[in-house]
């Protein structure tokens, strides 16, 4: 959708108009008709300038294509497609500017009738968050550079920039070995959340697909593989977003580091096919139930992208909000505040089969990643 045109003088245009006024005064004063003729020529070139610039801007469609999500620090390609919808006339000297980015602009010398031009621009978003892309500005100073005519095209879209994901340094992570591997062995059924437990005799009603033929041949009776649900495939990531002072830059940096670490951990474990649970104050209480796969990762990343610090509810409140089923398996708590004592947390998370790891951002440099102390 095009918004109404705007017109403004360029530097040369202002000088031209002043010259017009000068010639006009000279013509009126002297009464010389040839001066009036020159004045008329100047005024008509202003009119022609307006007409030609209007023709250039008319029926120009600009579309912006981009991925709806990206990662902070990564290059995102934004593609612009400019199409001249006029039947016969070309457009000259078009400048396309994306109002959402100050440094994003392109110049097109000429675009013929019915021609489409596509050009990509690369943009790096340094910070996570939701970016709303607004209108695109298309302007021209054609034909004489005296006036600048512009038109805005409403082209709203959003890009969610996820936190930076970095590779987890597995050497610095003191996790039980099986957490570093896939929770499934070769005998696992595809897409199943069960792990091989053992062999037993086939009973009526069992799934014949689970018959282990080698054992059957050995024992001369049908033997079936037995599986159990792997409770240790659940990982809960809990993020503390409590900032004592919201305006403190250092605290905000800690939070960003924590978010980035969260995202990297989620990415790491999901790639290992774990069930991930996530919870934090965003500043409202938010939880993402256990699930696995890329969709789950994106749900977590999206939440992390939009997190804002909260200055009212600390980590204890978060733990109080969670149910037992949500803090089972392996729990990783990422803390911002020193006062969140590990013992206090351990007291709250004290279920059988639950393993708790805390990462205190203030105490441990995030660059070391997961230099964590395993607690009982």
Q: Which residues in this chain contact another protein in the complex, by CB under 8 A? A: 12, 19, 23, 26-41, 43-45, 47-48, 51-52, 90, 92-93, 95, 107, 109-110, 141-145
CA dist list (Å): 261 to 16, 21, 52, 245, 361: 60, 66, 56, 21, 9
In the complex with another protein, the residue whose CB is nearer, 85 or 113, is: 113
Cβ 23 to another protein shortest distance, Å = 7
- Report the 10 Å Cβ neighbour count for 170: 12
Q: Positive or negative CA dihedral for 273, 277, 281, 282?
A: positive
Cβ 17 to another protein shortest distance, Å = 14
Cβ 217 to another protein shortest distance, Å = 25
Q: What is the DSSP letter of 17?
A: H
In the complex with another protein, the residue whose CB is nearer, 138 or 235, is: 138
φ/ψ (deg, to 5) at 138: -120, 125
Residue-wise DSSP of 179-230: GGS-S--TTSPTT-SEEEEEEEE--TTS-GGGB-HHHHHHHTS-EEEEEEE-
Cβ 3 to another protein shortest distance, Å = 23
Cβ 191 to another protein shortest distance, Å = 15
In the complex with another protein, the residue whose CB is nearer, 50 or 283, is: 50
Q: What is the DSSP letter of 205?
A: T
In the complex with another protein, the residue whose CB is nearer, 110 or 287, is: 110
In the complex with another protein, the residue whose CB is nearer, 93 or 314, is: 93
Name 350's Cβ contacts closer than 8 Å, sequence gap at least 6.
none
Nearest-angstrom CA–CA distance, 332 and 318: 13
Cβ 298 to another protein shortest distance, Å = 23
Nearest-angstrom CA–CA distance, 305 and 162: 5
Cβ 136 to another protein shortest distance, Å = 18
What is residue 18's three-state secondary structure?
helix
Q: What is the arrangement of strands in the sheet containing 60-66, beginning at the earlier edge strand?
A: 60-66, 75-84, 116-124
In the complex with another protein, the residue whose CB is nearer, 92 or 285, is: 92
CB 96 within 8 A of CB 110: no
Q: Tokens in use for 207?
A: 């799934």
In the complex with another protein, the residue whose CB is nearer, 93 or 100, is: 93
Cβ 53 to another protein shortest distance, Å = 11
Question: Residue for token digits 């695109």?
Answer: 136
Question: Residue for token digits 């990643």?
Answer: 369
Cβ 97 to another protein shortest distance, Å = 13
In the complex with another protein, the residue whose CB is nearer, 121 or 160, is: 121
CA dist list (Å): 294 to 67, 96, 264, 274, 301: 16, 36, 13, 11, 10
Q: What is the DSSP letter of 242?
A: B
Bond prior to 151 in cis (omega within 30° of 0): no
In the complex with another protein, the residue whose CB is nearer, 30 or 127, is: 30
Cβ 110 to another protein shortest distance, Å = 6
In the complex with another protein, the residue whose CB is nearer, 46 or 199, is: 46
Q: Which helix (H) or strand (E) holds 105?
A: strand 105-111
Tally of residues, the chain: 376
């Amino acid at each position: 959708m095009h918004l109404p045109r705007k017109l403004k003088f360029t530097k040369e245009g202002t000088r031209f108009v002043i010259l017009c006024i000068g010639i006009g005064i000279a013509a009126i004063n002297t009464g010389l008709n040839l001066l009036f003729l020159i004045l008329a020529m100047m005024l008509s070139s202003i009119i022609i300038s307006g007409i030609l610039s209007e023709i250039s801007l008319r029926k120009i469609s600009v579309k912006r294509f981009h991925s709806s999500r990206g990662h902070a620090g990564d290059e995102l390609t934004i593609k612009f497609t400019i199409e001249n919808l006029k039947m016969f006339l070309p457009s000259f000297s078009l400048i396309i500017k994306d109002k959402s980015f100050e440094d994003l602009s392109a110049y097109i010398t000429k675009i013929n009738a019915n021609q489409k031009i596509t050009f990509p621009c690369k943009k790096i978003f340094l910070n996570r968050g939701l970016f709303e892309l607004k209108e695109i500005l298309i302007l021209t100073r054609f034909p004489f550079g005296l006036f600048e005519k512009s038109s805005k095209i409403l082209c709203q879209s959003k890009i969610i920039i996820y936190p930076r994901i970095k590779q987890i340094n597995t050497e610095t992570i003191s996790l039980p070995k099986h957490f570093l591997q896939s929770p499934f062995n070769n005998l696992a059924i595809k897409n199943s959340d069960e792990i091989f437990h053992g062999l037993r005799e086939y009973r009526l009603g069992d799934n014949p697909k689970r018959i282990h033929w080698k054992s059957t041949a050995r024992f001369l009776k049908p033997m079936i593989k037995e599986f159990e649900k792997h409770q240790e495939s659940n990982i809960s990531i809990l993020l503390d977003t409590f900032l004592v002072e919201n305006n403190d830059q250092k605290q905000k940096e800690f939070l960003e580091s924590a978010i980035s670490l969260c995202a990297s951990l989620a990415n790491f474990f999901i790639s290992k096919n774990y069930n991930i649970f996530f919870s934090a104050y965003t500043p409202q209480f938010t939880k993402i139930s256990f699930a696995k796969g890329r969709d789950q990762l994106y749900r977590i990343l999206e939440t992390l992208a939009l997190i804002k610090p909260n200055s009212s509810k600390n980590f204890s409140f978060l733990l109080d909000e969670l149910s037992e089923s949500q803090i089972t398996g392996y729990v990783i708590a990422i803390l911002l505040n020193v006062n969140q004592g590990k013992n206090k947390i351990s007291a709250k998370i004290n279920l059988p089969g639950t393993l708790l790891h805390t990462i205190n951002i203030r105490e441990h440099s995030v660059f070391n990643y997961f230099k964590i102390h395993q607690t009982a």
